Structure 1
Amino acid sequence: MLSGTVIPSAGSDQNPEKGIFDFTMTTLSGEEKDLSQFKGSVVLIVNTASKCGFTSQYRELQQLYETYADRDFTILGFPSADFGGQEFEADEDIAAFCERNFGVTFPMFSRISVRGAEQHPLFTLLTSSPNPDTEGDIRWNFEKFLLDQQGNLIRRFGSRTNPMHTDVTASIDALLE
């Protein structure tokens, strides 16, 4: 099983034992949310964008969220403008877009950077996995990171993988058994 920790580079002030559930993030409504509240649940983290060719995946993400609503599963959406500026500037605009067009009810967080020099430490952790199948830079919007109940990164799905694809649902089912 993979470790949910990251070892910082020299000179970093990041806690070397910081895991996914050690982060506190700001929601689109401005509320601070401690990710530790999701410990014990299977979590799918997705970097999202409102003006992308894959934006319609919000519909399938919501469907996936509703499919597993009665089980210990959640989706966490993190909007980003890192790929061609395909996200609104204001969190209120992102929230309105997601609700109006896709009825999104899963937790959505403030816009952050998911790659490059400004990459948020959460995504540094996700992309620095020692597993060659899950590590590496995010290549586009709507990449999906599946974590087990302890916050260990188990699978990574690319932008072209539909959230309702059997690879995704079978992986979730296996973790929920």
Structure 2
Amino acid sequence: MVDQVRRSLGMFAALGAALAPFRPDPAAAAASVAWDFTFESIEGEPLPLSEFRGKVLLVVNTASFCGFTNQYAGLRTLHETYGPRGFSVIGVPSGDFRQEKATNEEVKTFCEVEFGIEFPLAAITRVTGREAHPFYRWAANAASPPRWNFHKYLVARDGRIAGSWGASTAPESSTIRRAIEQALAAPSA
């Protein structure tokens, strides 16, 4: 119960910070495509997005204790359905909204055991504010910043943002599926 209250209080503080006015980041805007960025993988190795050049990506900030955590199941379905056609989900666990586990190992185990996740996961990463990962600053300049967990950025084959949806849009929604199919229909860069 104490942990739940602590997470709730932290959530409100994080929400206030996330809803602060967005200021574009000129340094992040200098990067031209998603392939310019590298995350750290949940295993501690580099996870360069350049390895996905020519594919379609759905980059999603995730959390283990969020009311939207069940979206992992939909993300897994998308990854399995569209993966053979050149698509991948990239999960980016984040504690920015105070709803993530404490360590990468705990997140990885949770994702594998509870949801059978096999798509790439980044290490726990900042996705909002001045300390946000450069990809997230760039994506926020191109679309909008994450306001909560499970914000989704669709990256087209050319490495540009092709869509952006908040947590209330389920991964398997017709809107996201249509956008993925449209992005997959485009020629490889």
Q: Pick the TM interval, shorter chain.
A: 0.7 to 0.9
**Unaligned segments of structure 2, at least 5 residues:** 1-23
**Unaligned segments of structure 1, at least 5 residues:** 1-6
Shift of 1:52: 0.3
Q: In the alignment, what sits opposite 1:165?
A: 173
Q: In the alignment, what sits opposite 2:119?
A: 106
Q: In the alignment, what sits opposite 1:94?
A: 107
Q: C-alpha separation between the residues in 2 aligned to 1:143 and 1:79?
A: 11
Alignment of 1:1-177 (within 5 A): 9=26, 16-83=30-97, 85-129=98-142, 134-135=143-144, 137-177=145-185
- The two structures have a TM-score, normalised by structure 1, of 0.86
- Contact kept in structure 1, 2:74 and 2:172, CA below 8 Å: yes
Q: Mark the CA change 1:8 to 1:115 in structure 2 (over 3 Å): closer, same or farther.
A: closer
- The two structures have a TM-score, normalised by structure 2, of 0.81
Q: Secondary structure of 2:84's match?
A: coil
More helix by share: 2
Cα-to-partner distance string for 1:91-147 (whole Å, 9 max, x where unaligned)? 000000000000000000001111112111110000011xxxx23x31100010011
Query: Over aligned residues, Cα RMSD in angstroms?
Result: 1.6
Q: C-alpha separation between the residues in 2 aligned to 1:163 and 1:102?
A: 14
Shift of 1:18: 4.9
Q: Secondary structure of 1:76's match?
A: strand
Q: C-alpha separation between the residues in 1 aligned to 2:31 and 2:173?
A: 33
Sequence identity percentage: 38
Aligned positions, number: 162
Cα-to-partner distance string for 1:57-101 (whole Å, 9 max, x where unaligned)? 001100110111211101111011111x10012100000000000
Shift of 1:26: 1.2
Structure 1 segments of 4 or more deviating over 6 A?
none
Q: Secondary structure of 1:93's match?
A: helix
- Contact kept in structure 1, 2:25 and 2:141, CA below 8 Å: no
- Contact kept in structure 1, 2:25 and 2:137, CA below 8 Å: no
